Amino acid sequence: MRTALILLRKDLRLELRTLETVPAMVLFAVVTFVIFHFGLNRDTIDGQLAAGVLTATLLFASMLAINRLFVAEREQGGFDAFLLAPVDRSAMLLAKAAALFLFMVALEVIAVPAFGLFLLGPSLGPPLPGLILVLVLADLGLAVIGTLVSAIAVHTRARDLIGPIIGLPLLIPALIATARAAGPLLRTVDPASAPPGKWVAILALYDLVFALLAYAVFDFLLED
Amino acid sequence: MRVAPGTTLAVLGRNGAGKSTLLRILATLLRPHEGDVLVFGEPLPRRAFNVRARLGLLAHEPLLYRELSGRENLEYHAGLHGVRRGRVQEVLEAVGMERRAGDPVRLLSRGMVQRLAVCRAVLHEPELLLLDEPRANLDPAASELVEPLIGRQSGATRVLTSHDPGSALAEADLVLALKDGRPAFIGPPEQLGESQLRDLYA
C-alpha cells in the first residue's frame, strides 16, 4: 500500500505539472454534450436516453486517460525504474487504477453539472446521490479495466488504436449496467429515488471480477 | 564466468554486440534465453526479487521523469527503495547538483541529467553497480565528481561498458569481450592482445 501511494503521488504530481489528461477529458465531454444538444435537436433529454448519453460520453472521454496512463512510464523509463525496485508489482496496478479513478472523478465533477446544464431535463439535485453511487461503481470498473488495457496497449506502436479496440468491448457490460442503473433516476415523470438494485449488483460484480482478473495477470504485463 | 565481490568487469564490444542486453539481464529486466545467470548466488529470473535491492543500474536512459525536478525524482526512487531520509541531499551534494535540484529535469543539460542518473543508481547504496557508458555526457570535472559514487572507491562490484576500450581496460580486473552476442574473450585485461582488441572492433 505504501508503494502504491508513492506511485499515485508521483502520477498526480505529473498530471498537475503537465495538465495533459483531465483538461482534455473535460473538454471532450463538454463538447460532446453540445454536439448531442444540436444533433438530437432537443433542448432537454431525460430517462434512459439521458443516462445513455451521459454514460457513453464519460466512457469515450475516459479513453483519453486510458491511452495516456502509462505513456510516461514507457517513454521516460518509469517501467524499468519500477522493475528495478524491490517492491510488489501489483502496487503499480493499484496506483494506476487509483489515478484513473481520480481522473474520472475530476472529470465528472465538471461534466455531470455541465450535462445538467446543457441537456438534462429534470433537475440534477434529487437524483444526485443515486447517480453518484452508480458513477462510483462505474468508475471503479473503468479504472481497473482501463489500467489493464493501457498496460497492454502501451507496449504496442498503435497504442491509441489498441486502447479503444480492446477496452470498449470489455467495457460494454459496464456501459449497459451504468445506463440501466442511472436511467430511472433521470426520468422527468415518476423518477426513482434509488438506482435499481439488480443493475447496481451487476456493476459491483463486474468490478469485482475484473479487479481479481487484473490482479492475476498484471505482473505478466510488466515483465519482458 | 564469475565476478568476485569488489572487483570490476569491463564488457567490451562493438555497437550491437550485446553489452547493454547483458547488463539488462543482470539487472533482472530481461530474461536470458539460454544459460544460467546467478547474481549474489541467486538464479535469475526466478529469484530476481531477492537481488533487486542490492543492485544499481546506470543505463543509457536516465530513468527520470522530465516534468519532475531532480529532487522529486530522487525522492520518488528513495521511496521505492525504502532509503533513509537525508540520503537524497547527500547524493545531490556529492555530484554538485544541490542548487539545480529543484529544476525540472527537462530544463537540465545532458551532463546534469547524467549526474542525476548516477544519483538515482547509487541512492540505495547497491553492492553491485551495472554501469552502461557511465561517463557519457560528462565533462572531466563532472566525471571526477561522480568517481567516488561509481568508481573503484565506491567499494561495489562493478560491471561496466564503455565506448572507449582504453578507459574500460584501465579500470577492469576482468574483461568480457562480446562479438555478435557471444563471448570472444574472457580474462584479465593484460591478456587481451592488441590484435584481439582490433579484431573486436573491426
A219/B contact by beta carbon, under 8 A: no
- The DSSP element (H or E) to which A183 belongs, if any, is none
Residues of chain B contacting residue A84, judged by C-beta atoms under 8 Å apart: 27-29, 52, 55, 57, 63
Q: Vertex B179, ends B176 and B182: CA angle to 5°?
A: 75
Q: Are B56 and B126 in contact (CB under 8 A)?
A: yes
Nearest CA in chain A to B26: A84
Closest partner residue to A72 among B27, B31, B65, by Cβ? B65
Give the gap in angstroms from C-alpha B91 to the nearest C-alpha of chain A.
18
Residues of chain A contacting residue B119, judged by C-beta atoms under 8 Å apart: none
Residues of chain B contacting residue A224, judged by C-beta atoms under 8 Å apart: 29-31
The ipTM, to two decimals, is 0.85
Q: Do B31 and A224 touch (CB under 8 A)?
A: yes
DSSP A99-150: HHHHHHHHHHHHHHHHHHHHTBSS-STTTHHHHHHHHHHHHHHHHHHHHHHH
pLDDT band for B164, please (50, 70, 90 cuts): confident
Q: Do A77 and B68 touch (CB under 8 A)?
A: no
pLDDT digits (tens, 9 = 90+) for A46-83: 999 999 999 999 999 999 999 999 988 888 888 889 99
Q: Vertex A84, ends A81 and A85: CA angle to 5°?
A: 95
Distance CA B155, CA A113 (A): 61
- 49-88 in chain B: CB under 8 A from chain A: 49, 52-53, 55, 57, 59, 61-68, 72, 76-77, 79-81
* pLDDT score of A224 more than 70: no
Please state, rounded to an integer, the average pLDDT across all residues of chain A.
91
Closest partner residue to B52 among A3, A6, A85, by Cβ? A85
SS3 B185: strand
**Average pLDDT in the A170-190 region?**
91
pLDDT digits (tens, 9 = 90+) for B23-47: 999 999 998 888 899 999 888 888 8
A197/B contact by beta carbon, under 8 A: no
* pLDDT score of B50 more than 60: yes
Q: Do B27 and A84 touch (CB under 8 A)?
A: yes
Distance CA A116, CA B4 (A): 70
Identify the residue among B33, B67, B75 best suited for mutation to test binding to A, counting A beta carbons within 10 A and taking the highest. Answer: B67
* pLDDT score of A202 more than 90: yes
* pLDDT score of A222 more than 80: no
Whole-structure pTM value: 0.89
Residues, chain A: 224
Segments in chain B forming alpha helices (H): 19-26, 48-52, 70-81, 87-94, 110-122, 140-150, 165-171, 194-201
Q: How far is CA B105 from CA A56, B73, B183, B199, in A?
A: 38, 9, 37, 40
pLDDT band for A1, please (50, 70, 90 cuts): confident
Give the gap in angstroms from C-alpha A80 to the nearest C-alpha of chain B.
7
Q: Do B80 and A223 touch (CB under 8 A)?
A: no
pLDDT digits (tens, 9 = 90+) for A102-155: 999 999 999 999 999 888 888 888 989 999 999 999 999 999 999 999 988 888
Provide the pLDDT for residue B15.
Answer: 85
What percent of chain B is predicted at pLDDT more than 70?
Answer: 100
A30 or A192: which leads in pLDDT = A30
A216/B contact by beta carbon, under 8 A: no
**Average pLDDT in the A163-172 region?**
90
Residues of chain A contacting residue B123, judged by C-beta atoms under 8 Å apart: none
pLDDT digits (tens, 9 = 90+) for B134-155: 888 888 898 899 989 998 888 8
* pLDDT score of A25 more than 90: yes
β pairing state of B8-12 and B157-161: parallel
* pLDDT score of A223 more than 80: no
Residues of chain B contacting residue A3, judged by C-beta atoms under 8 Å apart: 79-80
Q: Do B28 and A78 touch (CB under 8 A)?
A: no
Residues of chain A contacting residue B68, judged by C-beta atoms under 8 Å apart: 10, 13-14, 17
* pLDDT score of A209 more than 90: yes
Residues of chain A contacting residue B63, judged by C-beta atoms under 8 Å apart: 76-78, 80-81, 84
Q: Do B31 and A3 touch (CB under 8 A)?
A: no
Give the gap in angstroms from C-alpha A12 to the nearest C-alpha of chain B.
11
Distance CA B11, CA B177 (A): 6
Q: Are A28 and A60 in contact (CB under 8 A)?
A: yes
- How many Cβ contacts (< 8 angstroms) between chains A and B? 64
- 131-150 in chain B: CB under 8 A from chain A: none
Residues of chain B contacting residue A2, judged by C-beta atoms under 8 Å apart: 79
* pLDDT score of B163 more than 80: no
Nine-digit cell at B43?
538464479
pLDDT digits (tens, 9 = 90+) for B81-136: 999 889 999 999 999 999 999 999 999 999 999 999 999 999 999 999 999 988 88
Distance CA B133, CA A64 (A): 37
Provide the pLDDT for residue B137.
Answer: 85
